[in-house]
Amino acid sequence: LMHAAHATLLLQPTMTTLRPFRMDDLFRFNNINLDVLTETYNMPFYLQYISQWPEAFTVAEAPDGSLMGYMLGKAEGAGKLWHGHVSAVTVAPTYRRLGLARTLMEDLDKLSTDVYNANFVDLFVRASNGLAISMYESFGYVKYRRVLGYYSGDDVEDAWDMRKALPRDKNKESTIPLDHPIRPEDLEW
């Protein structure tokens, strides 16, 4: 499945191509994934997305063929909770501040609207990552609810579940913030 949003776009000063992620890209994205700001996953995780949601796994490619960033997305939920989900959006350090993250996010918004007919798009972000939170807010996302201890490991940390209503949710019910935090086991999807 390919949607109209995968296209060539002009980002100053280079020409960038958005295209579906390919299997061989798994061996070419270290310049993106080895950055401290990027969450990385195991190989089966990426393979699951390539096989189940290939249209939502998008890469931005520079004219020289190097990878600039990618969007790892999917659709999930049911009824009023049917939504697009951003599992990861990341841009290589050398390509930041060009608007590429916005372009990748808009691509998933369009896919979630035109193909999935979703109510909203959501994502999880570390509660301490003020820069990312501000960026997502500038894209139209709101802090919907705090998820206590969402990020596990050495540094357990809360996450914000951020949402952006799509045209199907005419009254923006999906983005009315909860007045209390939840735990990861309380998440619907």
pLDDT over threshold 80, residue 10: no
pLDDT in tens, 136-189: 999 999 999 999 999 988 889 999 999 999 999 999 999 999 999 999 999 998
Look at residue 33 in the predicted model and tell me its pLDDT.
Answer: 75
Look at residue 110 in the predicted model and tell me its pLDDT.
Answer: 97
pLDDT over threshold 80, residue 78: yes
Average of per-residue pLDDT values in the chain: 90
pLDDT in tens, 21-59: 999 998 888 878 776 666 777 889 999 999 999 999 999
Look at residue 32 in the predicted model and tell me its pLDDT.
Answer: 82
pLDDT over threshold 80, residue 113: yes
State whether the Cα torsion 131-95-45-117 is positive or negative.
positive
The span from the CA of 129 to the CA of 174, in Å, is 23
User: Are the beta carbons of 124 and 187 closer than 8 angstroms?
Assistant: no
Q: Encode 49-74: b = buried (16+ Cβ within 10 Å), e = exposed.
A: bbeebebbbbbbbbeeeebbbbbbbb
Q: What is the pTM of this model?
A: 0.88
